[in-house]
Amino acid sequence: MRKYFFLMYHTFKATSLCRILQLWEIKHIKLHKKIIEFGASEIKEKNFCFYTIDYQEKNSVFSNINHQNLLFIDLEKKIKIKSKFDNVLLFNVLEHLTDYKIAISGIRKILKKDGFFIGSTPFLYRVHGAPNDCFRFTKYIFKEKILNNFKINNVINLGFGPFTLCYSVIFDYTKYIPFLNNILLTLSIIIDFLIGLFVKTPLKEIYPIAIFFKVKK
């Protein structure tokens, strides 16, 4: 029930379902010591680390190549910072990198031993810019290829099923009609739940809106 009210609250605020599901996962994580978040925003409430348990801004570093006031780090080149971090956050960035392998290698180098690498990428989600939309990654490819040099703690699909996926698709055209969105999302969740009673495979394993991961060095 708590998750439902969380969904309704952020839906009313015109937040996409993909982002809401990502926020739900990150809000249950407690990050200790030094944090760097790539793809961050100048508005702190838009950053994912802001939603973690006992978040402390003094321990955080924010990076984005599109914001002048944030640390400039090009993840497709060698990361030229001497600091090492206890936690690295990477949300909705990896799909925009043409050479994501360089980024993963660089992140591993700046992560302390036993540090956590946490992030998410959209999967069944519209093509979006900033700067380009290059890839979609499955849970399998994260486990077997992208994150295979880390200790896997958690790699999961986010979503409910085909009807909530359809809701997510049309959200761009209805997001400024908040009560309509709340009704559509509620109906979609109910229908997916009912369908799920008659199928063996969890529907989010077939229709993931996004993939979430938490791994350890």
Beta-strand (E) ranges in the chain? 35-38, 60-63, 85-91, 111-122, 151-158, 210-216
Q: For residue 147, give Cα distances in angstroms to 84, 134, 183, 195.
A: 19, 18, 38, 33
In this prediction, residue 130 carries a pLDDT of 59
Percent pLDDT > 70 in the chain is 97
pTM given for the model: 0.91
In this prediction, residue 22 carries a pLDDT of 96
Domain covering 18-160+202-216, topology: Rossmann fold (3.40.50)
In this prediction, residue 192 carries a pLDDT of 97
Give pLDDT < 70 ranges for the chain: 68-69, 130-131
Residues 6 or more apart in contact with residue 139 via CB below 8 angstroms = 155, 156, 157, 208, 211
In this prediction, residue 33 carries a pLDDT of 85
